Amino acid sequence: MADVRLRHSWQLDLESARAVARGTHDNLFAALGPHDTQDGRVIRAFLPGATRVEAVRRSDGDVLTVLEPRGENGLFENLIHDRAPYRLRVFWPDTVQETEDPYSFGLLLGDVDLHLFNEGRHFELAHCLGAQVVTIDGVTGVRFAVWAPNAKRVAVVGDFNSWDRRRHAMRVRHGAGIWELFVPRVAPGSRYKFDIVGPGGNQVPWKADPVARQAEMPPNTASVIPQPDHHRWHDDVWMAERAKRQAPNAPITIYEVHLGSWLKPDQRNRSGSLWDFAIERLVPYLVDMGFTHVELLPITEHPFGGSWGYQPLGMFAPTARFGPPDGLLRFVDALHSANIGIILDWVPAHFPTDPHGLARFDGTALYEHLDPREGFHRDWNTLIYNFGRREVQGFLIANALYWLEHFHVDGLRVDAVASMLYRDYSRQAGEWIPNVHGGRENLEALGFLRHLNAVVVERCPGAIMIAEESTAWPGVSRPTSGGGLGFSYKWNMGWMHDTLNYMTEDPIHRQYHHNDMTFGLLYAFTENFVLPLSHDEVVYGKGSLIGKMPGDRWQRFANLRAYFGFMWGHPGKKLLFMGGEIAQEREWNHDRELDWPSLQDSAHAGIQRVVRDLNRLYVSEPALHERDCETPGFQWTVGDDRANSVFSFLRYGANWSPILVVCNMTPVPRHGYRIGVPLGGAWREIFNSDSAFYGGSNVGNEGRVAAQEFAAHGQPYSVEIVLPPLATIYLRYDG
């Protein structure tokens, strides 16, 4: 019914009233809330569906005025002769609600916040943008803030307003392009999204909050107002010692885990979140196996579980699949109490195109490049961040710091760095745009990575940044001050591909592939390397690690034991994807837990014992880790015995007994094999992958050998040893 009453001068004009009712008014702060007119102060509220609205004094609840309805469109207004703070008493058909007026509050974000955001240097975005539970003028509620500089109108919709896009339109802070609104009395746990009208008046699909710290369970896509964090940390000792525990001279053995498929909890007996289950089962397992770190595949919220988290959209939200965010805090605390570090896979290289996400967030290419030659990954059908935009750089750096600082995470493994470094990555001629110098290097991404790593060094003492970078880009793990990218470590993808290629060969053919095992030592000390046997090697038809090994069943298990021995003896930190340590036969499937029952088989249990013992040796023997990243930590003794497929090298610590690592990659045992060593006296056999304890044939050296003053391989002494078949042995100098 049309409003045919005579309009007073203090009433909202008809055109504006209609715009409010339609949800097209572009500045509700100019229409709603308290306003001074020539007739006095007027209060207006838009509450469609309400039957009566009263303005009451905050201090005592006395009714100041009854707001009169303007027809049946939900607009209420009236003059008020008291300037005291007020709240609204709203009579709905089935309840009465009291709440403060969102449009009675002033500006929310400070000028410093806006300036730092525009500069890409606001590193506390997790506590600035998004949904923040705050108290303003004694009123508790939620401050919403979102970056949408090209939007014509932005509103927050959610459980608290019946998802009515007309109810809570936001105020824009011009210059920064940030929209803000304080909604009183909204409770944590409420779901919300942003309703955005683009610059041309086009309606954008409802968007999840880019800085949401919690999201609802997929496939639902709303953001969730998080509970305030009251976690009390118990890891002061760990944090104080973290820098030395993660330094290049420290032992680092990483167990890579997809938490959702490591072990499935029995749903009948499960209480608590998957984080609690991980505290109960995964933490003790890591301790028992001797791993120093766990690395989780991406836990940021992602719409498609089959991406394993590598196509994230909720960059600030731990996935709801594992439980509320406070569970992650408890999990990290439990790890640190057990002297285990945690690394998270982090994906700043790309994001998916789901309509509720970052794609064309405000109706324009905001987070991504407009031109698909710069902004679209064909390999993954994803969008590429615009690293040249300061606000986007700041968003990503603030996100990295959120995980490192708020959750006490010890490091981030940065995914797909190679795709960031090169403009022509996986592109043909004509499908990419050169940089300003005509080259293929992505200068903006380089600037972002160097900035990111420099900020992490400054703000997060002892935290590490690890690059998954598959090319020969120089200086990835060298300081930015010397022209490097500033990462702490780099995955050695070349080592992984070469050595796996060697191990898949039948032993009779390995002599023709000898360089695959030795080539990595030509560049082993050009970077601080991690040797990765990651999830990528056991998916998409590649089979399992044990499935790659040739020969009959005994030989396959012997090959894997020998390969692990070679890997743990080789310079570089270690990473093993879950399932490798139990020689899982089938390829990894993210929908199924690991094949734990296989440990009832002695061969599988033997592989687990090998990994457990290698971890403990690697940690306890400085020669195996102290100079992982230094040339003096390694010396070939036998690197050219192609005919016998034998490799032998020495590992050195700074002031510790050296260790001789010897690998026989054929099924032929070799007796009386002479190898040069630097010192005379006893050399103790401290590891033998052919031990019967591991499922081997128990060929060995009866615990020790004596070095004779007989020069060999450029060394003044030598030992004559027995090389077990398809095995690796370690001999430590005990003279």
Domain of residue 360, residue span: 256-491
Q: How far apart are CA 379 and CA 371, in angstroms?
A: 17
320 shares its domain with 468: yes
Q: Has 505 been annotated as catalytic?
A: no
pLDDT given for residue 1 in this prediction: 40
Please say whether the beta carbons of 566 and 499 come within 8 A.
Answer: yes
Residue 196 lies in a domain: yes
Residue 27 lies in a domain: yes
Q: Has 415 been annotated as catalytic?
A: yes
pLDDT given for residue 7 in this prediction: 66
Please say whether the beta carbons of 148 and 156 come within 8 A.
Answer: no
Q: What CATH number is given to the structural domain containing 193?
A: 2.60.40.10
For residue 89, which amino acid is it? R
For residue 248, whether the previous peptide bond is cis, meaning omega lies within 30 degrees of 0, is no
Q: Mean pLDDT by 10-residue block, N- to C-terminus, for the chain (735 residues)? A: 59 90 92 91 94 93 92 89 92 94 96 96 96 96 98 97 96 95 96 96 96 97 94 96 97 97 75 89 98 98 95 97 96 98 98 97 96 91 96 98 98 97 93 94 96 97 96 95 96 97 97 97 97 96 96 98 98 98 97 96 98 98 97 96 97 94 97 96 97 96 93 94 98 92
Residue from 415, 444, 685, 690 carrying the catalytic annotation: 415
Please say whether the beta carbons of 558 and 698 come within 8 A.
Answer: no
Domain boundary among 430, 460, 491: 491
pLDDT given for residue 269 in this prediction: 53
pLDDT given for residue 2 in this prediction: 45
Residue from 100, 345, 468, 685 carrying the catalytic annotation: 468
Q: What's the structural domain count of the chain?
A: 5
Residue 676 lies in a domain: yes
Beta-bridge partner residues of 683: 705, 733
For residue 469, which amino acid is it? E
H helix and E strand count, the chain: 16, 35
408 shares its domain with 531: no
Dihedral sign (CA 425, 430, 433, 439): positive
Domain boundary among 625, 653, 672: 625
Token digits for 46? 């838009």
604 shares its domain with 649: no
Type and span of the H or E element at 260: helix 259-262
Side-chain-side CA neighbours of 589 within 13 Å: the count stands at 8
pLDDT given for residue 267 in this prediction: 58
128 shares its domain with 213: yes
pLDDT given for residue 445 in this prediction: 96
617 shares its domain with 707: no
620 shares its domain with 636: no
324 shares its domain with 419: yes
Residues near 92 by Cβ (< 8 Å), separated by ≥ 6? Answer: 49, 50, 51
448 shares its domain with 590: no
pLDDT given for residue 735 in this prediction: 76
- Comparing C-alpha atoms, which of 105, 98, 44, 94 is closest to residue 74? 44
Q: How far apart are CA 66 and CA 51, in angstroms?
A: 11
- Comparing C-alpha atoms, which of 662, 661, 656, 663 is closest to residue 626? 656
- Comparing C-alpha atoms, which of 522, 419, 531, 541 is closest to residue 470? 419
Dihedral sign (CA 223, 229, 234, 236): positive
Phi, psi of 245, deg, nearest 5:
-70, -20
364 shares its domain with 420: yes
pLDDT given for residue 71 in this prediction: 76
Residue 24 lies in a domain: yes
408 shares its domain with 370: yes
Residue 18 lies in a domain: yes
Domain boundary among 625, 654, 671: 625
3-class secondary-structure state, position 173: strand
Type and span of the H or E element at 113: helix 111-119
pLDDT given for residue 38 in this prediction: 87
505 shares its domain with 599: yes
Rg over CA atoms, the chain: 31
Q: What CATH number is given to the structural domain containing 598?
A: 3.20.20.80
604 shares its domain with 713: no
Residue 435 lies in a domain: yes
